[in-house]
């Protein structure tokens, strides 16, 4: 069974966007929390349509990844709750999180830093290391590696830290909420990390 969410549905007791933002501010903890891990295929929301006719289970990796990052800023929200708040702030266009700069209007403690794309060149690992100094963020991979470029099978994961040898990333995968290594899941055998990453979407917790 497929259901649909909307700002009115999740935040139905709130009359205005300002009230929604005020409610979310009240949810922020005094100190950043450990990251809460979520799966886009969680039975509680995998069949929920969040935008553009798409369900979390189909294409919810980005939204679920942002939910995990928001937990680091103290927001205790499930993916459907987070999407409803971001829809109210005008972040989404259909199923696409098209206006990430507006995220902070809904989640003041989560800052949009920017994006990098490496569709036709190797990923800049020095940039990734520098950004990870401030905490986890999203990186773009290919769900089924080896397809057309730019990747036709786009998938986002939460990058947490480089491995001790600097050759891989510890990630949490929104596909199943599991902490693992990027090259184990989203690379062909002969690829290195710079080849396996197609982009970065960087959010940071305010004050870091």
At 135-168, the pLDDT tens digits run 999 999 999 998 877 777 899 999 999 999 999 9
Confidence of residue 197 (pLDDT cuts 50, 70, 90): very high
Give the long-range contacts of residues 126-132, CB within 8 A, separation 24 or more.
Answer: 127/200, 128/159, 128/162, 128/169, 128/197, 128/200, 129/162, 131/200, 131/202, 132/159, 132/160, 132/161, 132/162
Confidence of residue 2 (pLDDT cuts 50, 70, 90): low
Show the domain range for 144: 113-205
The verdict on 118 and 200 lying in the same domain is yes
Count of structural domains within the chain: 2
| Residues paired with 204 in a beta bridge | 111
Question: CA angle 165-167-173, nearest 5°?
Answer: 115
φ, ψ at 84 (rounded to 5°): -60, -40
The verdict on 103 and 12 lying in the same domain is yes
The verdict on 169 and 83 lying in the same domain is no
Q: Which of 108, 140, 166 is the last residue of a domain?
A: 108
The verdict on 179 and 97 lying in the same domain is no
Q: What is the pLDDT of residue 150?
A: 73
Q: Which of 92, 108, 124 is the last residue of a domain?
A: 108
Residue 33 tokens read as: 């929390």
Beta-strand pair 54-55/110-117? unpaired
At 68-97, the pLDDT tens digits run 999 999 999 999 999 999 999 999 999 999
pLDDT at 18 over 70: no
The verdict on 40 and 129 lying in the same domain is no
The verdict on 99 and 30 lying in the same domain is yes
The verdict on 166 and 87 lying in the same domain is no
Euclidean distance between CA atoms 176 and 186, whole angstroms: 14
pLDDT at 171 over 50: yes
Q: Choose the weakest-confidence range: 8-22, 109-123, 183-197.
A: 8-22
The verdict on 48 and 72 lying in the same domain is yes
The verdict on 140 and 165 lying in the same domain is yes
The verdict on 27 and 74 lying in the same domain is yes
Dihedral over Cα of 77, 83, 88, 91: its sign: positive
Q: Which of 108, 143, 164 is the last residue of a domain?
A: 108
The verdict on 59 and 45 lying in the same domain is yes
| Helical axes 61-72 vs 79-88, angle rounded to 10° | 90
The verdict on 118 and 198 lying in the same domain is yes
Q: Choose the weakest-confidence range: 5-9, 44-48, 52-56, 140-144.
A: 5-9
Residue 94: count of CB within 10 angstroms of its CB: 11
């Amino acid at each position: 069974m497929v259901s649909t969410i909307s700002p009115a549905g999740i935040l139905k007791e709130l009359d205005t966007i300002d009230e929604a933002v005020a409610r979310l501010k009240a949810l922020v903890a005094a100190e950043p929390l450990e990251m809460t891990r979520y799966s886009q295929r969680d039975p509680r929301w995998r069949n929920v349509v969040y935008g553009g006719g798409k369900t979390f289970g189909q294409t919810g990796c980005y939204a679920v990844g942002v939910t995990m990052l928001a937990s680091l800023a103290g927001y205790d929200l499930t993916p459907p709750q987070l999407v409803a708040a971001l829809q109210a702030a005008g972040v989404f266009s259909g199923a696409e999180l098209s206006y990430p700069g507006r995220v902070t209007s809904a989640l003041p403690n989560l800052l949009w830093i920017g994006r990098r794309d490496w569709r036709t060149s190797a990923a800049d690992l020095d940039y990734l290391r520098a950004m990870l100094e401030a905490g986890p963020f999203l990186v773009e991979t290919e769900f089924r590696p080896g397809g057309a470029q730019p990747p036709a099978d786009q998938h986002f994961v939460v990058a947490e830290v480089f491995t001790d040898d600097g050759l891989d990333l510890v990630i949490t995968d929104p596909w199943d909420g599991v902490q693992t290594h990027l090259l184990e899941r989203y690379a062909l055998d002969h690829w290195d990390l710079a080849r396996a990453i197609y982009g970065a979407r960087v959010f940071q917790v305010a004050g870091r």
